[in-house]
Amino acid sequence: MHADKLFVKTKRTFFSIILLFLFVILLGLTSVAQTKDSTTAFTPFSNLNPDYQSNNMKGEKDIGDYLKPIVKKVKNSFKAKELKSLEITDDSLLNITPLSTPVLHTDSVCIKPGKLNFAYFPAVGYTMQTGTTGILAMNISFYTGNCDSTNISGININPQISFNHPQFLLPLNFNIWTKKNKINLTGDMRYYKYPTYTYGLGGYTQLSDADLIDYNYARVYLEGLKQIAHSKFYIGLGYNLDYHFDILEEGKASDYSAYSGKITNTTSSGVNMDFLYDSRKNQNFPENATYANLCYRYNAEALGSDEDWHSVYFEYKKYINITKNSHNVLALWNLDWFTFGGTPPYFDLPSTGWDNFSNTGRGYIQSRLRGPSMVYLEAEYRFRIVKSGLFGGNVFVNGESVSEWGSNRFETILPGAGLGVRLKLNKISGANLAIDYGWGAGGSSGLFFNINEVF
């Protein structure tokens, strides 16, 4: 009876958050509409990103530079009347975007506040946990203020269907900046139909411990951050919901059943407080910058959580250019994730590949390690292969450790290493197609695809 009441309570909480999310989106779009002139207008890109203006843009190449002549030849092969509805000019708003990242622009422009920019693109990706996956990515980009003082805002919807397993993923996220970056509104909404493997708790598990579990997953993360005194520091509050339901263990008896019993639904519902420092001028390819985020989350029964428990999530990233005029970057990443004060649901424990962007642990399949707490370190060297920047490369090493169930002690470290290539998709935004191959301990290895850098 208690479980039924909890399910109803959680369901009401979930739909209340959905309504709040829609309100936030409406607020963001309304702030765009409240400009004096909503007609199409452009300003030089120098106002959009001074960093790139000063970083020797002459000679820079991206994939668009090579595809533009092909597009023009295709245009000339048809009658002008037939192409009237899809005319590409030097200031066209037509964007082709794999995985929701704008990549082909015939000219880089700064969109005036009030102009919504839609883009969509079908693509095929690959991850170790889903195998080959079909993706339909859609992006809406806009400014809420002048582009010389306001970051671009975006809404992304990326449904995915895997070919190897009957998996369905529907992630939706947004990142909205108000005028002059005074307030940052963020959201991460997901629905997964997700049969996947789990390997147990602690650092002594093996690949042979794989246990197939099928479940549905709904996530709602919403947050608002306010700038502190015109600085790069922000403070914010948010709400987090992780709801796993229709959980069915299809494999052998494992740590999951020992930890969770026969439970088929779990709910973690709570509030969080964030302290953020972010000096990155370009999040697609950061240079000479620092990012630090400290997040405290309190999951409360009063908000529909199964029980009270807490977590602290700290993330630090440092980007160091090797020389003053070089685009070669040494990137460092540290993530520390701790739970305490209760018993978190199994799938809400810190785990490989379940960080905010699902990128920890290259060399290992998602969920490979899981425990009450997690410490992660990675270093990567990013370098250009050709002077134009069209092709680049990288080498990386990482190490991760999860605490043991019961003792909560860190006793093992799983190392990983690998290398990759980069294809410049947009020389102005710095967006890359990232293809990496990583190796881990115990015969683990795999291919990893990303749009933009892993961190």
Give residue-wise pLDDT tens across range 54-89.
444 567 776 667 666 775 665 565 444 444 433 333
CB atoms within 10 A of CB 386: 10
Give the pLDDT confidence score for residue 13 in this predicted structure. Answer: 47
Domain that holds residue 273: 2-451
And the tokens for 100? 């929701």
Q: How far apart are CA 380 and CA 329, in angstroms?
A: 8
Residue 441 neighbours by CB under 8 Å, 6+ apart: 414, 415, 416
pLDDT surpasses 80 at 173: yes
Predicted confidence at residue 84, as pLDDT, reads 42
Cα separation, 92 vs 90, in Å, equals: 6
Number of domains into which the chain is organized: 1
Q: What whole-number percentage of the chain has pLDDT above 70?
A: 72
Supply the pLDDT for residue 19: 47
**Helix H or strand E encompassing 50:** helix 50-54
Q: Is pLDDT above 70 for 433?
A: yes
CA atoms within 13 A of residue 49's CA, in its CB half-sphere:
22
Residue 275 burial class via C-beta count within 10 angstroms: exposed 0-12, middle 13-18, buried 19 and up: middle
Are 389 and 430 spatial neighbours (Cβ–Cβ below 8 Å)? no
Contact 225, 209 (CB under 8 A): no
- Residue 88's SS3 state is coil
Hunting for tokens 């050709």 — which residue is that? 386
Q: Which of 3-12, 152-161, 189-198 ranks highest by mean pLDDT?
A: 189-198
Half-sphere exposure of 2 (CA within 13 A, CB side): 7
User: Average pLDDT over the chain, rounded to whole?
Assistant: 78
| Separation of alpha carbons 350 and 295, rounded Å | 14
Task: Please tell me what DSSP assigns to residue 151.
Answer: P
CATH code assigned at 140:
2.40.160.50
- Name the residue among 249, 295, 274, 222 with its Cα closest to residue 24: 222
Report the pLDDT value the prediction gives residue 88, as an integer from 0 to 100: 31
Task: State yes or no: pLDDT of 1 exceeds 80.
Answer: no
pLDDT level of residue 25 (50, 70, 90 thresholds): very low
More confident residue, 260 or 78: 260
DSSP state of 404: P
Return the residue matching tokens 């985020």: 293
Question: Structure tokens of 97?
Answer: 């975007």
* Span 33-52, average pLDDT: 34
Identify which has the larger pLDDT, 148 or 178. Answer: 178
Planar angle of CA 306, 307, 313, nearest 5 degrees = 105
Closest C-alpha to 335, from 348, 324, 351: 351
> DSSP E strands: which ranges in 4-159?
42-43, 110-111, 117-127, 131-142, 153-157
Check if the beta carbon of residue 186 is closer than 8 Å to that of residue 225: yes
Amino acid 163 reads: F
* Position 33 pLDDT exceeds 50: no
Structure-block tokens of residue 301: 């029964």
Q: How confident is the model over 368-400, as pLDDT tens digits?
A: 999 999 999 999 999 999 988 889 999 999 999
